[in-house]
Amino acid sequence: MLFGKKQEITNTETTVYARAKINLTLDVTGKREDGYHTVKMVMQSVALHDEVRVTVTHGEKKPRGIVVRCNLPYLPVDERNLAYRAAELFYESTGILLETCEIHIEKRIPVAAGLAGGSADAAAVLRALASLHAAGLTDEELCAMGLKLGADVPFCLRGGTMLAEGIGEELSALPDMPHCWVVLCKPPFAVSTKEVYQAIDAVDIRQRPDTAGMLKALDRGDFAGVCRRLSNVMELVTAAKRRQIGEIKEFLAENGANGTLMSGSGPTVYGLFSDEGRAKTAAKMLGRRFADTFLTETV
């Protein structure tokens, strides 16, 4: 008697760190016809990360498609989640057969904070799936895919210290910024990136970031020079509405930060410290007032 061959169920899994980014500079240089602002910014990845675990299962009788889970109950886990959309785009663009792809996001990066947390998760999913399916995609191909999900995704795919131009997708690698400790503090309100970019059009920007000077400081490995040139035009919008931005910067500076700035469209403010002990103490004190305070470092 012949028995039908039982289909074998196979599982492959990988975990990718989705790292947060901070802006060392952010300048808005214009607006394209399609409404996107063009920017010039120096971006830096930091060790603070979400953990993104991706499991691909083959051979189930009833494949389950894309399933996202997250430790934060208020984050959507359907198409509204960038990690979900990244998986969807990966399977659509590669033509690889989607059976079951489970994504678990252990979120540590504060949400809607100017730290590109969603973009980092999307980048992590693209990397994970490219590796699990041995898709043979080049970095350029992955970045082109990532750009369809968001302007910060290509940077998140690469990480390190980069100059980003265009709408954020034209990346040039820079010398690694001198290692330092970073205290990140997100005051308890969220900021809509879209609204801040809309508001910047009405602002008279008198002092722009010295991007050329920042690039030279990075070339020299000059930490003090980097700290002197931290500058973000978006502070003009967000700090004008919320006094806590200025207060946190002041607190960090008074407690040993070598430089301070708001990241992206905010509201997260950071301080750079060459001294680990001072960074630890500042983070501890600030953490008593703002729960979303983190001690991390450049990577």
Q: Which residues contact ligand ATP (rule: CB under 6 A)?
A: 75, 80-83, 105, 111-119, 121, 152, 193, 264
Q: Backbone phi, then psi, for 279, in 5-degree steps?
A: -60, -40
| For ligand ATP, the closer CB: 21 or 229 | 21
Compare residues 80 and 208 and give the one whose CB is closer to ligand ATP. 80
Angstrom distance (rounded) from CA 194 to CA 255: 33
**Residue 110 or 160: which CB sits closer to ligand ATP?**
110
Closest alpha carbon to 267 in 281, 287, 288, 248 = 248
Catalytic residue among 50, 152, 186, 249: 152
Q: Closest CB to ligand ATP among 113 and 182?
A: 113
35-54 burial, b at 16+ Cβ within 10 Å, e below that, comes to eebebbbbbbbbebbbbbbb
**Residue 292 annotated in active site:** no
Q: Is 131 annotated as a binding residue?
A: no
Identify whether 216 is a catalytic site residue: no
Minimum distance, C-beta of residue 113 to ligand ATP, in the bound complex (Å):
5
The two structure tokens encoding residue 62 = 């009833």
Nearest distance from C-beta of residue 285 to ligand ATP, angstroms: 24
| CA dist 189 → 8, 157, 272 (Å) | 49, 27, 22
Smallest separation, CB 105 to ligand ATP (Å)? 6
Nearest distance from C-beta of residue 186 to ligand ATP, angstroms: 9
Rg over CA atoms, the chain: 21
Which residues are designated catalytic? 21, 152
Binding site feature residues for ATP: 110-120
